[in-house]
């Protein structure tokens, strides 16, 4: 269980998060949605310990994480843009992350699943954007952590790889993992998410199922439901 209570965060004169409180239950897929500048990335960085809130608390399994670091050993994180060292070979970056984590990994199975073996001896700088994203997936998902945070995980993926990452996300959920996803692809969210947390202007605007959000907005699909929320006059 992730418990977020009354989180505030300001950068300069901009109040990015304004009293955000939400519970994230284990064993579900949660989509954290919101327009650019809404505060969703800041909230994720607070969960990862990369940003310290001005006030509020975050607890994972009953333990306050603020000012701590060891809890991060049980979180897998896939950033939207992975800034890998360009001169490293793919196999070297995988080995480096394995050495840093020092926990059992499932990298070989993921390498096969995303057909990365022909690229293991290539430098990161020589990879296409889609292949880099596959490396990003392997690095994020090769451990068996209880919490998985995926920031725009499908960016640049071909249709086959898109199907495979969706399969893996479902497999992780069946294994009882807690999965947080950010995405601008509403069809992906509608297909995968058990719950949606929609952040608007630094506050939780909605938390519930996709179906309940569609019912609340009177729309037949998630894309139009979100568009209705963001339409002038509705905010």
Q: Would you say residue 81 lies in a domain?
A: yes
Kindly report the number of other CB atoms within 10 A of residue 64's CB atom. Answer: 12
* Confidence check: pLDDT of 233 > 80: no
Q: If residue 180 lies in a helix (H) or strand (E), which one and from where to where?
A: strand 178-182
For 2-39, the pLDDT digits (tens) are: 999 999 999 998 999 999 999 998 899 999 998 888 88
For 120-132, the pLDDT digits (tens) are: 999 999 999 899 9
Token code pair at residue 82: 């992975």
| Confidence label for 196 from pLDDT (cuts 50, 70 and 90) | very high
How far apart are alpha carbons 41 and 22 in whole angstroms? Answer: 15
* Confidence check: pLDDT of 160 > 80: yes
Q: Would you say residue 122 lies in a domain?
A: yes
pLDDT > 70: percent of the chain: 99
Q: Would you say residue 15 lies in a domain?
A: yes
The whole-number pLDDT of residue 211 equals: 92
* Confidence check: pLDDT of 235 > 80: no
Q: Would you say residue 117 lies in a domain?
A: yes
Of 113-117, 124-128, 146-150, 183-187, where does mean pLDDT reach its minimum?
183-187
Q: Would you say residue 167 lies in a domain?
A: yes
**Count of structural domains, the chain:** 1
Q: Would you say residue 168 lies in a domain?
A: yes
Closest CA to 148 of 173, 180, 185: 180
Domain range spanning residue 20? Answer: 2-230
Q: If residue 145 lies in a helix (H) or strand (E), which one and from where to where?
A: none
| Confidence label for 73 from pLDDT (cuts 50, 70 and 90) | confident
Q: Would you say residue 193 lies in a domain?
A: yes
Q: Would you say residue 235 lies in a domain?
A: no
| Confidence label for 48 from pLDDT (cuts 50, 70 and 90) | very high
First to last CA, the chain: 30
> Which CATH number do you get for residue 45?
3.40.50.300
For 88-131, the pLDDT digits (tens) are: 999 999 999 988 887 888 899 999 999 999 999 999 999 998 99
pTM for this prediction: 0.90
């Amino acid at each position: 269980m992730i418990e977020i209570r009354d989180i505030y965060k300001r950068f300069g004169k901009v109040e990015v998060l304004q009293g955000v409180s939400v519970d994230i239950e284990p064993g579900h897929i949660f989509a954290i949605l919101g327009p650019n500048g809404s505060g969703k990335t800041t909230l994720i960085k607070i969960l990862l310990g990369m940003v310290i809130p001005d006030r509020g608390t975050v607890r994972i399994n009953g333990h306050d994480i603020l000012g701590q670091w060891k809890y991060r050993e049980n979180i897998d994180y896939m950033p939207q843009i992975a800034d890998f060292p360009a001169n490293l070979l793919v196999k070297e970056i995988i080995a480096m992350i394995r050495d840093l984590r020092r926990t059992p990994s499932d990298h070989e199975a993921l390498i096969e699943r995303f057909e990365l073996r022909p690229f293991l001896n290539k430098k990161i700088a020589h990879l296409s954007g889609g292949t880099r994203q596959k490396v990003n997936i392997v690095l994020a998902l090769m451990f068996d952590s209880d919490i998985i945070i995926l920031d725009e995980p499908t960016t640049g993926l071909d249709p086959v790889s898109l199907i495979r990452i969706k399969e893996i996300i479902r497999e992780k959920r069946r294994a009882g993992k807690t999965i947080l996803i950010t995405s601008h692809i509403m069809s992906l969210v509608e297909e995968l998410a058990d719950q949606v947390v929609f952040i608007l202007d630094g506050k939780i605007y909605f938390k519930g199922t996709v179906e309940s959000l569609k019912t609340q907005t009177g729309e037949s699909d998630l894309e139009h439901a979100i568009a209705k929320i963001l339409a002038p006059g509705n905010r």
